Amino acid sequence: MDGDTTTTARSEGDGRQGGHALPQVSAPRNPGMPLDLDRVMRVQANTSAIERRCAALPGRRSIKKDWQAAWLVRAIQCIDLTTLSGDDTPGRVRRLCAKARRPLRHDIAEALGVEGVTTGAVCVYHAMVPTAVAALKGSGIPVAAVSTGFPAGLSPYRLRVAEISESVAAGAEEIDIVISRRHVLTGDWQALYDEVAEFRAACGPAHVKAILATGELGSLRNVARASLVCMMAGADFIKTSTGKESVNATLPVTLVMLRAIRDYHELTGARVGYKPAGGISTAKDALMYLALVKEELGDRWLSPDLFRFGASSLLGDIERQLEHHLTGAYSVSWHQPMA
């Protein structure tokens, strides 16, 4: 495995506003470890118990008033503001990047005392990487590129590896790779490990987020085992979904992946990040995801270097909630500037 465990994905000295050092750069990378199949096969995930824990969570944790506002601001900081559409154009991507730089209406940000808050990253297809890099220049916001034959991951292996290098060369600092679901479904853990390890190597200094496509893995046990294998192979983040599966991020899947991250941390000391993606569209959902992360992994993970939301419409709802927090009146979408 490459020895770049402390390499930061980004150069220092990016111009950042408001003195908020984005912490994306602070965590040492996951060095990975040899595939430990005994450990992988020992992993269990009891679906109904996991579902009960998640179903009870909203009743167990309630975040109100200023705390809710702060948590929602943190949620914004953790958003990978995303557009992954066939009709993406440079203009559309530039608008998105502008929104990433200034996700909150200026008066709302000011009233909350959180001017300078940005989203965690902007996430686009390879073709849009140069546009996004240019649009975000000087903001400190990294560009993430989905890669490796996203979303199905079934293009020629050689091309999938090459796609990573091209996106990195184009300036992407984070690469969201998709794994070959068939390796999980057939129990070929070695193949999965080798694939992710090679993707990781191809990323070089760019952080690698391994998309498991949990909606296609058949069982939570498979999700748990695949999570562990991807981390052993050196994934910096594990991510639920492409957003294109019929079932994307859910709390049960999240609980399973967070527990895998915790086990891996205890085993190796390495902190791997988590990114739920797809289907998280309300501020309330976002609070529950953050609460679950806090419960299972602790406060250290409540930070953009270790936690991201892959979401396109979440920001809008958070903006409305924050306006409501300030005014006491419910808001509408057209009060918030579009992306």
* Residue number with CB closer to another protein (16 or 95): 16
Q: Does 275 qualify as catalytic in the annotation? A: yes
Residue 61 or 324: the one with the smaller Cβ distance to another protein is 61
Distance in angstroms (rounded) separating the CA atoms of residues 2 and 27: 16
Nearest CB to another protein, comparing residues 73 and 121: 73
Paired residues of 239 in beta bridges: 211, 275
What is the Cβ-side half-sphere exposure of residue 156, based on CA atoms within 13 angstroms? 3
Minimal distance in Å, beta carbon 50 to another protein? 6
Beta-strand pair 79-82/121-124: parallel
User: Of 99, 236, 239, 305, which is the active-site residue?
Assistant: 239
- Per this entry, what is the length of the chain? 339
Residue 233 CB, nearest approach to another protein (Å): 22
Secondary-structure percent of the chain, ordered helix, strand, coil, rounded to 5: 50, 10, 40
Rounded CA-CA distance 203/164 in Å is 6
Helices marked H in 78-217: 90-101, 106-112, 129-136, 157-169, 181-185, 189-203
- Closer of 25 and 302 to another protein (Cβ): 302
Would you state the structure tokens that stand for residue 23, as one six-digit string?
Answer: 């912490």
**Residue 226 CB, nearest approach to another protein (Å):** 15
Least distance between another protein and beta carbon 23 (Å): 12
Which residues form the interface with another protein (CB under 8 A)? 44-53, 56, 59-71, 73-74, 112-114, 219-221, 259, 290-291, 294-295, 298-299, 302
Minimum separation from the CB atom of position 212 to another protein (A): 17
- The residues with which 178 forms a beta bridge, in sequence order, are 211
Please say which residue, 239 or 325, places its beta carbon nearer to another protein.
325
- Report angle CA 267, 272, 277 to the nearest 5 degrees: 135
Count other C-beta atoms under 10 Å from residue 78's C-beta.
27
Q: Which is nearer to another protein, 74 or 207 (CB)?
A: 74
Q: How far is the CB of 325 from another protein (least distance, A)?
A: 9
- Helix 283-296 to helix 47-60 angle, to the nearest 10 degrees? 110
Is there a cis peptide before residue 151, judged by omega within 30 degrees of 0? yes
Active-site residue identified among 99, 236, 275, 305 = 275
3-class DSSP state of 309: strand
Active-site entry in 80, 99, 176, 285: 176
**263 catalytically annotated:** no
137 is catalytic: no
User: d(Cα 176, Cα 181) in Å, to the nearest integer?
Assistant: 15
- Known catalytic residues are 176, 239, 275
